[in-house]
C-alpha cells in the first residue's frame, strides 16, 4: 500500500485525511519520527507556503513516500486580500503583542466598519510531492462575508466572523456536519483524491 506523510502533527487534519483518502497509509510527522521543524513560511501565496512545508520534510522520509502539506487563510476583497498568508500572525504584528482569537476578530471587524463590500474568501492549498519529485497543488475555496460581530463559538480560526449567506449564520454557529459543506480544506482534498485516483 502506498504511504503518505503529511507535514503536520495536527490530529484533526490527519484523521480527516484518513477518513477521505482510502487505499493509502497516512502518517503524521510524529509517526514518521520527524520532530517539529521551525519552517519559515516566507512565501507570498498559500501555494508557495504549502510547497515550502512539504519540501521541509522531503529529505527526511523514504523515497517511496508521498508528501502532503497545506496552508490556508482568509482573504478580504476590500482589504486587498488581507490578512492572506499572514492570517495567523497579522494581528500580532499590528498590535505588537501576543493576541487572542477574539482580538483578531475585533481587529478585522474594526477594519471593516465603514466598508460595504464584505466579501471574504477562505482558501486552502494542498501541496503534493510524489516519489518521483513531481509537485502538484490543489486549491479549495469557500466564499463568505465578514460578519459585523462575533457570533458563535464552534470551530476555530475566523469561523465566528465568517458569515455564510446561504445558511444565514457564521461558521462559528454551525455544527460540525453543517460546516463540512463549507470546508475549503475538504474541497482541496477532494481535488487531490481525484488526481490520485486517475493516476
- Label each residue of 79-115 as H, E or C: HCCEEHHHCCCHHHHHHCCCCCHHHHHHHHHHHCCCC
Joined together, the cell numbers standing for residue 82 give 488581507
Residue 159 known to be catalytic: no
pLDDT given at position 35:
78
Q: How many other CB atoms are found less than 10 A from the CB of residue 141?
A: 14
Return the pLDDT at 165.
96
Q: What confidence score (pLDDT) does residue 93 get?
A: 92
Expressed as residue numbers, the domain containing 33 is: 2-197
Would you state the pLDDT for residue 114? 93
Q: In which element (H, E) is residue 155 found? A: none
Cα(33)–Cα(48) distance, rounded to whole angstroms? Answer: 25
Q: What is the pLDDT of residue 82?
A: 97
Q: Per residue of the chain (199 residues), what is the pLDDT tens digit?
A: 789 999 998 888 898 898 888 889 999 999 988 877 777 888 999 999 999 999 999 888 878 999 999 999 999 999 999 999 999 899 999 999 999 999 999 999 999 999 999 999 999 999 999 999 999 999 999 999 999 999 998 877 899 999 999 999 999 999 988 998 999 999 999 999 999 988 7
Q: Total domain count for the chain?
A: 1
Instruction: List the CATH number of the domain containing 92.
Output: 3.90.950.10
pLDDT of residue 85: 95
Q: What is the pLDDT of residue 5?
A: 95
Torsion angle in degrees (nearest 10) through CA of 143, 118, 47, 25: -40
Distances 82 to 5, 146, 155, 172 between C-alpha atoms, Å: 31, 12, 21, 20
Active-site residue (options: 36, 71, 114, 159): 71
Query: Grid coordinates standing for 1?
Result: 500500500
pLDDT recorded at residue 42: 87
Amino acid at each position: 500500500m502506498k504511504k503518505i506523510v503529511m507535514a503536520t502533527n495536527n490530529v484533526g487534519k490527519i484523521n480527516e485525511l484518513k477518513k477521505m483518502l482510502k487505499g493509502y497509509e497516512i502518517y503524521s510527522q510524529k509517526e514518521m519520527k520527524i520532530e517539529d521543524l521551525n519552517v519559515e513560511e516566507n512565501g507570498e501565496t498559500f501555494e508557495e507556503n504549502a510547497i515550502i512545508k512539504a519540501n521541509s520534510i522531503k529529505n527526511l522520509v523514504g523515497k517511496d513516500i508521498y508528501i502532503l502539506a497545506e496552508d490556508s487563510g482568509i482573504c478580504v476583497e476590500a482589504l486587498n486580500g488581507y490578512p492572506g498568508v499572514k492570517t495567523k500572525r497579522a494581528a500580532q504584528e499590528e498590535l505588537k503583542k501576543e493576541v487572542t482569537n477574539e482580538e483578531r476578530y475585533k481587529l478585522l471587524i474594526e477594519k471593516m466598519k465603514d466598508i460595504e463590500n464584505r466579501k471574504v474568501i477562505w482558501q486552502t492549498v494542498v501541496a503534493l510531492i510524489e516519489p518521483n519529485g513531481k509537485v502538484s497543488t490543489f486549491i479549495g475555496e469557500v466564499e463568505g462575508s465578514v460578519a459585523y460581530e462575533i457570533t458563535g463559538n464552534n470551530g476555530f480560526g475566523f469561523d465566528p466572523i465568517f458569515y455564510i449567506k446561504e445558511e444565514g449564520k457564521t461558521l462559528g454557529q454551525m455544527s460540525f456536519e453543517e460546516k463540512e459543506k463549507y470546508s475549503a480544506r475538504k474541497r482541496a482534498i477532494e481535488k487531490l483524491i481525484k488526481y490520485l485516483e486517475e493516476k
